[in-house]
Protein backbone atom coordinates (compact mmCIF):
# COMPACT_ATOMS: atom_id res chain seq x y z
CA UNK A 1 0.00 0.00 0.00
CA UNK A 2 1.33 3.44 -0.92
CA UNK A 3 0.88 6.65 1.01
CA UNK A 4 0.76 10.21 -0.29
CA UNK A 5 2.57 13.02 1.47
CA UNK A 6 0.15 15.85 2.33
CA UNK A 7 0.55 19.05 0.33
CA UNK A 8 2.76 21.74 1.87
CA UNK A 9 4.21 19.29 4.37
CA UNK A 10 7.98 19.20 4.67
CA UNK A 11 9.79 16.02 3.82
CA UNK A 12 10.98 13.87 6.66
CA UNK A 13 14.58 13.57 7.75
CA UNK A 14 17.38 15.83 8.96
CA UNK A 15 17.24 17.97 5.81
CA UNK A 16 13.45 18.48 5.68
CA UNK A 17 12.25 20.93 3.06
CA UNK A 18 9.01 22.91 2.78
CA UNK A 19 7.44 22.05 -0.58
CA UNK A 20 5.02 24.98 -0.87
CA UNK A 21 1.27 25.55 -0.41
CA UNK A 22 0.38 23.02 -3.11
CA UNK A 23 3.20 20.63 -2.30
CA UNK A 24 4.70 21.43 -5.73
CA UNK A 25 6.37 24.86 -5.53
CA UNK A 26 9.75 23.45 -4.50
CA UNK A 27 9.36 20.18 -6.40
CA UNK A 28 7.60 19.88 -9.78
CA UNK A 29 7.06 23.65 -10.16
CA UNK A 30 10.50 24.67 -8.91
CA UNK A 31 12.12 25.01 -12.34
CA UNK A 32 9.37 27.26 -13.71
CA UNK A 33 9.18 29.31 -10.53
CA UNK A 34 12.94 29.90 -10.59
CA UNK A 35 12.88 31.00 -14.23
CA UNK A 36 10.11 33.54 -13.59
CA UNK A 37 11.86 34.80 -10.47
CA UNK A 38 15.21 35.07 -12.27
CA UNK A 39 13.66 37.17 -15.05
CA UNK A 40 12.22 39.61 -12.49
CA UNK A 41 15.47 39.86 -10.51
CA UNK A 42 17.79 40.22 -13.50
CA UNK A 43 15.49 42.76 -15.17
CA UNK A 44 15.60 44.89 -12.02
CA UNK A 45 19.38 44.56 -11.81
CA UNK A 46 19.51 45.63 -15.46
CA UNK A 47 17.57 48.78 -14.55
CA UNK A 48 20.23 49.68 -11.99
CA UNK A 49 22.97 49.03 -14.54
CA UNK A 50 21.15 51.21 -17.08
CA UNK A 51 20.89 53.97 -14.50
CA UNK A 52 24.65 53.78 -13.86
CA UNK A 53 25.32 53.98 -17.61
CA UNK A 54 23.08 57.03 -17.90
CA UNK A 55 25.06 58.79 -15.14
CA UNK A 56 28.66 57.70 -15.76
CA UNK A 57 28.70 57.10 -19.53
CA UNK A 58 26.04 59.45 -20.88
CA UNK A 59 26.62 62.16 -18.30
CA UNK A 60 22.99 62.58 -17.22
CA UNK A 61 22.22 64.33 -13.92
CA UNK A 62 21.27 61.84 -11.18
CA UNK A 63 17.64 63.10 -10.88
CA UNK A 64 17.10 62.43 -14.60
CA UNK A 65 18.74 58.99 -14.62
CA UNK A 66 15.89 56.61 -13.90
CA UNK A 67 16.93 53.62 -15.96
CA UNK A 68 14.86 52.39 -18.91
CA UNK A 69 11.64 52.31 -16.89
CA UNK A 70 12.23 55.90 -15.85
CA UNK A 71 12.18 56.97 -19.50
CA UNK A 72 8.63 55.68 -19.87
CA UNK A 73 7.22 56.27 -16.37
CA UNK A 74 9.40 58.85 -14.59
CA UNK A 75 7.18 59.21 -11.52
CA UNK A 76 7.20 55.48 -10.82
CA UNK A 77 10.95 55.18 -10.24
CA UNK A 78 10.79 57.95 -7.61
CA UNK A 79 8.14 56.09 -5.60
CA UNK A 80 9.45 54.53 -2.39
CA UNK A 81 6.40 52.24 -2.46
CA UNK A 82 7.56 50.78 -5.78
CA UNK A 83 11.09 50.23 -4.53
CA UNK A 84 9.89 48.70 -1.26
CA UNK A 85 7.34 46.49 -3.04
CA UNK A 86 10.05 45.04 -5.24
CA UNK A 87 12.37 44.47 -2.26
CA UNK A 88 9.57 42.65 -0.43
CA UNK A 89 8.62 40.47 -3.40
CA UNK A 90 12.25 39.54 -3.90
CA UNK A 91 12.69 38.65 -0.24
CA UNK A 92 9.57 36.46 -0.29
CA UNK A 93 10.82 34.71 -3.43
CA UNK A 94 14.25 34.04 -1.96
CA UNK A 95 12.77 32.68 1.29
CA UNK A 96 10.15 30.42 -0.29
CA UNK A 97 12.22 29.04 -3.19
CA UNK A 98 15.27 28.27 -1.04
CA UNK A 99 13.68 25.06 0.23
CA UNK A 100 14.24 23.37 -3.12
CA UNK A 101 18.01 23.85 -2.87
CA UNK A 102 20.59 21.57 -1.29
CA UNK A 103 24.35 21.50 -0.68
CA UNK A 104 26.53 24.21 -2.21
CA UNK A 105 23.60 25.63 -4.19
CA UNK A 106 21.68 26.26 -0.97
CA UNK A 107 24.66 28.03 0.62
CA UNK A 108 24.93 30.40 -2.33
CA UNK A 109 21.17 30.96 -2.31
CA UNK A 110 21.29 31.69 1.42
CA UNK A 111 24.01 34.28 0.84
CA UNK A 112 21.72 36.04 -1.62
CA UNK A 113 18.76 35.77 0.74
CA UNK A 114 20.54 37.24 3.78
CA UNK A 115 21.84 40.13 1.67
CA UNK A 116 18.27 40.78 0.59
CA UNK A 117 17.11 40.74 4.22
CA UNK A 118 19.33 43.77 4.85
CA UNK A 119 18.43 45.34 1.50
CA UNK A 120 14.74 45.00 2.39
CA UNK A 121 15.33 46.62 5.78
CA UNK A 122 17.03 49.58 4.10
CA UNK A 123 14.05 50.03 1.77
CA UNK A 124 11.63 49.74 4.69
CA UNK A 125 13.55 52.50 6.41
CA UNK A 126 13.32 54.66 3.28
CA UNK A 127 9.58 54.02 2.97
CA UNK A 128 8.92 54.94 6.60
CA UNK A 129 10.84 58.19 6.18
CA UNK A 130 8.97 59.07 2.98
CA UNK A 131 5.66 58.36 4.72
CA UNK A 132 6.37 60.32 7.90
CA UNK A 133 8.61 63.13 6.68
CA UNK A 134 11.08 62.37 9.49
CA UNK A 135 14.47 61.79 7.89
CA UNK A 136 17.48 59.92 9.26
CA UNK A 137 20.35 61.89 10.79
CA UNK A 138 18.98 65.26 9.76
CA UNK A 139 18.96 64.45 6.04
CA UNK A 140 16.75 66.46 3.69
CA UNK A 141 15.27 63.37 2.00
CA UNK A 142 14.73 59.67 2.77
CA UNK A 143 18.15 58.19 3.56
CA UNK A 144 19.12 54.65 4.50
CA UNK A 145 21.83 53.78 7.02
CA UNK A 146 24.60 52.89 4.57
CA UNK A 147 23.49 55.75 2.35
CA UNK A 148 24.97 58.06 4.96
CA UNK A 149 28.33 56.85 3.60
CA UNK A 150 27.61 55.80 0.00
CA UNK A 151 25.39 57.60 -2.59
CA UNK A 152 22.06 55.87 -3.26
CA UNK A 153 22.61 55.01 -6.93
CA UNK A 154 25.93 53.27 -6.30
CA UNK A 155 24.73 51.66 -3.07
CA UNK A 156 21.65 50.01 -4.53
CA UNK A 157 23.51 48.88 -7.63
CA UNK A 158 25.94 47.22 -5.22
CA UNK A 159 23.12 45.67 -3.18
CA UNK A 160 21.40 44.26 -6.26
CA UNK A 161 24.69 42.89 -7.58
CA UNK A 162 25.33 41.14 -4.25
CA UNK A 163 21.86 39.61 -4.42
CA UNK A 164 21.78 38.68 -8.11
CA UNK A 165 25.18 37.06 -8.67
CA UNK A 166 25.06 34.53 -5.79
CA UNK A 167 21.49 33.70 -6.82
CA UNK A 168 22.64 32.92 -10.37
CA UNK A 169 25.51 30.78 -9.05
CA UNK A 170 23.03 28.90 -6.85
CA UNK A 171 20.74 28.23 -9.80
CA UNK A 172 23.59 26.92 -11.97
CA UNK A 173 24.78 24.58 -9.19
CA UNK A 174 21.22 23.49 -8.51
CA UNK A 175 20.62 22.57 -12.14
CA UNK A 176 23.78 20.45 -12.01
CA UNK A 177 22.76 18.42 -9.02
CA UNK A 178 24.90 15.36 -8.47
CA UNK A 179 23.57 11.83 -8.58
CA UNK A 180 24.12 11.68 -4.80
CA UNK A 181 21.79 14.66 -4.30
CA UNK A 182 19.23 13.14 -6.63
CA UNK A 183 19.15 9.91 -4.61
CA UNK A 184 18.72 11.64 -1.23
CA UNK A 185 15.19 10.69 -0.17
CA UNK A 186 15.12 13.45 2.47
CA UNK A 187 15.10 16.07 -0.31
CA UNK A 188 11.93 16.62 -2.41
CA UNK A 189 12.20 15.38 -5.98
CA UNK A 190 12.87 18.59 -7.93
CA UNK A 191 12.20 19.30 -11.60
CA UNK A 192 15.41 21.33 -11.94
CA UNK A 193 18.44 19.07 -11.61
CA UNK A 194 19.84 17.68 -14.86
CA UNK A 195 20.83 14.44 -13.16
CA UNK A 196 17.29 14.03 -11.86
CA UNK A 197 15.80 14.43 -15.33
CA UNK A 198 18.45 12.14 -16.83
CA UNK A 199 17.73 9.44 -14.25
CA UNK A 200 13.99 9.77 -14.86
CA UNK A 201 14.62 9.29 -18.60
CA UNK A 202 16.71 6.17 -17.98
CA UNK A 203 14.00 4.70 -15.75
CA UNK A 204 11.36 5.40 -18.39
CA UNK A 205 13.52 3.87 -21.12
CA UNK A 206 14.10 0.77 -19.03
Q: What is the pLDDT along the chain (206 residues), one digit of tens a residue?
A: 444 444 444 444 444 555 555 567 877 888 899 999 999 999 999 999 999 999 999 999 998 999 988 888 888 888 999 999 999 999 999 999 998 888 899 999 999 999 999 999 999 999 999 999 999 999 999 999 999 999 999 999 999 999 999 999 999 998 887 555 656 655 556 777 654 445 444 444 44
Q: Which candidate, 39, 64, 170, 21, places its Cα nearest to that of 107?
A: 170
- Containing structural domain, residue 147: 30-199
**What torsion, rounded to 10 degrees, do the Cα atoms 63, 65, 68, 73 define?**
10
**Number of compact structural domains in the chain:** 1
Q: Nearest CA to 146 among 132, 131, 133, 162? A: 162
In a domain, 6, yes or no: no
Residue 7 · residue 22 · CB < 8 Å:
yes
In whole angstroms, what is the distance from residue 88 CA to residue 157 CA?
17
In a domain, 19, yes or no: no
pTM assigned to the model: 0.79
Amino acid sequence: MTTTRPAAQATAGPHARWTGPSGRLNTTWHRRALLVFAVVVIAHWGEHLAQAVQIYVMGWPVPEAGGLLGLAVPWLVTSEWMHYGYALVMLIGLVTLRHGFTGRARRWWNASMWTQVWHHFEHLLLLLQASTGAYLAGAVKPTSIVQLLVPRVELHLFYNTLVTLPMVVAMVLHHRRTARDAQDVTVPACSCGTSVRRRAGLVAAG
